[in-house]
Chains A and B, each alone.
Chain A
Amino acid sequence: MRSAAVRLVDISKSYGDVWANKDISLTVEEASIHGLLGENGAGKSTLMKILFGMVSPDSGLLEVNGQPAAFRSSADALEHGIGMVQQHFSLIGTFTVAENLILGRGSQSFGGRWVKRLDLKAAAQRTRELSDRFGFGIDPFALCHDLSVGARQKVEILKALWGGATTLVLDEPTAALSPPEAEELYEVLERLRREGTTVILISHKLPEVMRLCDRVTVLRDGAVVGDREIALAARRPGGQRAAMEADLVQLMIGRERPVVSQRAPRDLPPVLSIRELSDGKRIDGLDLTVNGGEILAIVGVEGNGQSELVELLIGQRKRISGAVELDGTDITALSTKQRFDKGLAHIAEDRHASAIADSMSLTDNASFGFIDGAPFAPTPFWLSRRLRSRFAALLVARQNVRASSPDALIESLSGGNQQKLVVARELARAPRLMIAAQPTRGLDIASTTAVHEALLALRDRGSAVLLLSLDLTEVFTVADRIAVIRGGRIVGESPIATADATQIGQWMSGAASKEPV
């Protein structure tokens, strides 16, 4: 056995009566990739924030390279060669890539940093070198809020490696990446391991865990429930791998992997029809129909108009031309609220930006979007606190949201539990058309299945679902039909049963544009 890069001994941390971590011990070997698995709220992020000095544990010990260590802040952790990529982005949008990378590492002397010019040229040069080393192709002078999610994730990794980190913690790094981007990341991680870096990877995606990790530790309810070595034979798809995966699922959720129920084809009139829709910028003459009782998945390389299409549909973006009909009535002139009243619901792609208010309570967040009508407002001048609490409790129960109390701030929930609340709230609208953008981002296996089941239930009731997803497995699990978006228009469509992955790939990249469809 190689020596331990990081050792955590009997770490405990509680928030109120919730034990986020309870006597957790973890040893991570040098130059290995160590997976950390567990359901939403199992305590993975908390444990890693403790290792990174961002959260102070109630009790327990840390050892780095065999030496005891105590971190009071992430500055201490960085100094000990530990870098971390947070679950949600920690880049500053108004800063350039180079500025974000050099942030906090510019100069060592306290006096010097007030007078000396910060050498951003050198930082940019270093950024370029580091980025080229991994083939990232990042422009050091780009503003971070202009970057795609994938590029931002890469910048986060560069940032963690900037100070020469020897241990790298990644908290669900591929949750927001498209498959090819994730693939690139896997190669980077494998390369880092070869070069001697220790990686701790938090993930809900078993295939990537199986492919990358040397060892995994599974947490449940804040405690370690198991530890497995992943044999080389299990890394490749095949018999041994399936058995191993089943074993991990069993450890994580205490039962077998739930299966998504079968479905029968439906044939109902269109719920959503879009004709020649343009916004003058990213959406350019888009045509699309979604029938009742149908789940239509839109796939495409990120930045081809997915987000803009959603904004157009919910009325947050100005339409230049074209029509959008919901159940046969034109909704283009309606406000967002009127559209929601007409039967639209929306699971937002970026929950922090547009689905929840971080510093409000779970109950408040549960009632967003229902303010001036049923179910809690008998009159426009009064919101019933009792009814709202009851509603929140209902949502919590439906999607199995884990929180310390209904009054807990939503930001104190684990990322996956925040997402579950959003999904439950939007489902509660009983929509005619559900626009679900990355609905299972950051969800654990059981919750992902629960969301898929809920979408299928909508479909079985005759509603339509427009699914935007980067996860092709998800698309093939739930969708009835698949449409490919590129350059702001739909370039190809196919029923899921006859969908051909190569063809879809060509549509996405544009290689098939010359061929007859």
Chain B
Amino acid sequence: MDILTISLVISAIHLGVPIILPMLGGLVSERSGVMNIGLEGMMLGGALAAVAVTFITGNPWLGLLGAIVSGLLSGLILAILTVTLRGNQVVASTAINLIGAGITAALVPIIWGVDGTSPSVPKIPSMTIPGLSDLPVVGPLFSSLTAMDYGTFVLAIVVWWVLFRTDAGLRIRAVGESAESADAAGIAVVRTRFIAVMTSGAFAALGGAYLSIVTLDVFQASMTQGRGYLALAALVFGKWRVWPALAACIVFGLADAFALRSQIVGIGIPHELLLALPYVLALVALATFVGRTSAPAGVGKPFVRA
């Protein structure tokens, strides 16, 4: 029973957070009516920016800031493509994915002169919370999480609060349900969507940075391994609501953690199969839920005023 210990919970969190962050980004964007399949590409951008800035400054916190800037930029590009130029949202955000994967891979040799993997940089340190970390059983939890793990859950609360409790959230959701109605109610549709899509980029980039300067201390080409898509699956699973989608992310994280542990412990199932578990779950989620989801009604529809 060694496999079901507190360390499994810890690694589930470690593996869940880089799905939660892009999920929150996708949520904000899609609630405003812009489909963002580009989370994966935005994550890669964030992961690289975080390592590059940390490499130059030696400070991983500045690296995080760099990731946010890169995310805002990629969000800005997507917003210009889909909101201003009214391009097809699926095509535009897929382009972000392709460009994100291509550019980040190409930049590694340009910056560091090596192929594939960057040199290692300082990581965001984990925090030990005095008192709590001495508790039996749950103690290790409070000595192995970083500020970013806590921050992610705080961010989820913030996103929930803003989207579902404030005026700004009502506006964002209105724009996502029906841009025409929102326009008639005097809401600035274009501005709202820009804000939402750029925020989405920043969140996704933070998810990427988590992988590169929290989980690891290097950037590797394609290191996100489809987590951006898992985040999208979680959104569908959670019906575009914060807590159910977050729960889905944790389940994906848990599945991932389980697969990794089983590799060490050995439970008789080929571990390649287990590694595919989160993706299989996502597939099942998409296949079973897609028909009767409650996606925001305006997703995918560009807004044009006569």
A residues sitting closer than 8 Å to B (CB atoms) are 15, 49, 52, 54-55, 73-78, 84, 86, 90-95, 99, 102-107, 112-118, 159
Contact = CB atoms under 8 A, between A and B. Distances in A.
A369 B297 CA distance: 25
A92 B184 contact: no
B162 interface: yes
A91 B174 CA distance: 10
Given A73-B186, A74-B183, A74-B185, A54 B306 contact: yes
Interface in B153-205: 162, 165-171, 173-174, 177-178, 180-188
B305 interface: yes
Given A95-B177, A116-B166, A74 B171 contact: no
Contacts of A15: 306
Contacts of B185: 74, 90, 103-105, 159
27 contacts: A52-B184, A74-B183, A75-B187, A76-B186, A78-B186, A86-B184, A90-B178, A92-B178, A92-B182, A93-B177, A95-B170, A95-B177, A99-B170, A102-B167, A103-B181, A104-B174, A104-B182, A104-B186, A105-B185, A106-B167, A106-B170, A112-B167, A113-B167, A113-B171, A117-B165, A118-B166, A118-B167
Given A54-B183, A117-B165, 7 more contacts: A74-B183, A75-B186, A95-B170, A103-B185, A103-B187, A115-B166, A118-B169
A99 B186 CA distance: 14
A94 B177 contact: yes
Contacts of B186: 73-78, 104-105
The winner among B166, B181, B184, B294 for most chain A CB atoms within 10 A is B184
A74 B184 contact: yes
Given A113-B171, A116-B167, A94 B187 contact: no
Contacts of A49: 306
Contacts of B306: 15, 49, 54-55
Contacts of A103: 170-171, 174, 181-182, 185, 187
A113 B168 CA distance: 5
Contact of A102 (B165, B168, B170, B188): B170
A157 to B, nearest CB: 14
A76 B174 CA distance: 19
Interface residues of B, number: 25
Nearest to A110: B168
The winner among B168, B174, B186, B305 for most chain A CB atoms within 10 A is B186
B198 to A, nearest CB: 14
Given A114-B166, A116-B167, A104 B177 contact: no
Nearest to B306: A55
A170 to B, nearest CB: 14
B166 A104 contact: no
B190 to A, nearest CB: 10
A103 B172 CA distance: 10
6 cross-chain pairs, A with B, having the tightest CB-CB distances, nearest first: A75-B186, A106-B167, A104-B185, A113-B167, A90-B181, A113-B168
Chain B facing A: main interface SS:
helix
A47 to B, nearest CB: 13
Contacts of A107: 167
A92 B181 contact: yes
Nearest to A53: B186
A106 B294 CA distance: 25
B179 to A, nearest CB: 11
A99 B174 CA distance: 10
B177 A92 contact: yes
A90 to B, nearest CB: 4
A434 B184 CA distance: 36
Contacts of B174: 92, 95, 103-104
Contacts of A113: 166-168, 171
B177 A75 contact: no
B184 A54 contact: yes
A102 B167 CA distance: 9
Interface in B195-242: none
A332 B46 CA distance: 58
A159 B185 CA distance: 9
Contacts of B182: 92, 103-104
A83 B188 CA distance: 17
The winner among B168, B180, B305 for most chain A CB atoms within 10 A is B168
B162 to A, nearest CB: 6
Contacts of B162: 114-115
Contacts of A74: 183-186
Contact of B184 (A84, A99, A112, A115): A84
Contacts of A91: 181
B297 A73 contact: no
Nearest to A359: B301
Nearest to A78: B186
B177 A118 contact: no
B171 A73 contact: no
A173 B44 CA distance: 52
A90 B188 CA distance: 16
A255 to B, nearest CB: 31
Nearest to B181: A90
B300 to A, nearest CB: 11
Nearest to A79: B186
A95 B184 CA distance: 16
Interface in B73-124: none
A90 B184 contact: yes
A231 B164 CA distance: 52
A75 B305 contact: no
Nearest to A89: B181
Contacts of A99: 170
Contacts of A115: 162, 166
A54 B185 CA distance: 10
A104 B178 contact: no
Contacts of B188: 73, 75
Contacts of A118: 165-167, 169-170
